[in-house]
Every structure is written in structure tokens, then in C-alpha cells.
């Protein structure tokens, strides 16, 4: 029984990791660092996080709490 639980846990972790990787890749394909954007131009929190984390646009996080564009990411 313990082996079955261990196998199920391992499979669920592998599946969730693969799903997360696909989701992150989809965000990378959807957004681009080519244009510098302001918070008022962001259409979603995911886009704001992409520009903060992947493009290095630290000005999107004025208070330094790790959350960009508080008007979009509530």
C-alpha cells in the first residue's frame, strides 16, 4: 500500500511539474520583451510578471515587494 501511495505521489508531481513548464513556456511565447511597457499598458497580471521577471523591468515594482503593477495584480 505504501508503494502504491509513493508511486501515485511521484506521478502526480511529475505531471504537475510538466504542466507548470508548459504554462511558463506559453507565457514566454505570448509576451515579448521587445517593447518596454508601463503598468497602464498591461492586459494581465501574468504579462506584468513576465515583464518584471523575464525582461528585468524593475520599475514595474515600485515598492519592491515582488508584485508588479499593483493596479493589475491585486
pLDDT for 27? 53
10-to-6, 14, 37, 49 alpha-carbon distances in Å: 6, 6, 40, 29
**Averaged pLDDT, 53-69:** 95
**Cα separation of 28 and 55, whole Å?**
11
- The pLDDT-based confidence of 37 (bands split at 50, 70, 90) is confident
The size of the chain, in residues, is 74
Mean pLDDT of 39-68: 94
Given a cut of 60, whether residue 22 has pLDDT beyond it is: no
Amino acid at each position: 500500500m505504501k508503494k502504491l501511495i509513493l508511486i501515485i505521489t511521484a506521478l502526480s508531481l511529475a505531471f504537475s511539474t510538466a504542466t507548470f513548464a508548459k504554462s511558463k513556456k506559453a507565457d514566454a511565447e505570448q509576451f515579448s520583451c521587445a517593447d518596454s511597457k508601463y503598468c497602464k499598458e498591461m492586459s494581465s497580471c501574468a504579462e506584468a510578471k513576465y515583464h518584471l521577471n523575464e525582461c528585468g523591468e524593475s520599475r514595474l515594482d515600485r515598492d519592491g515587494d515582488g508584485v508588479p503593477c499593483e493596479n493589475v495584480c491585486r
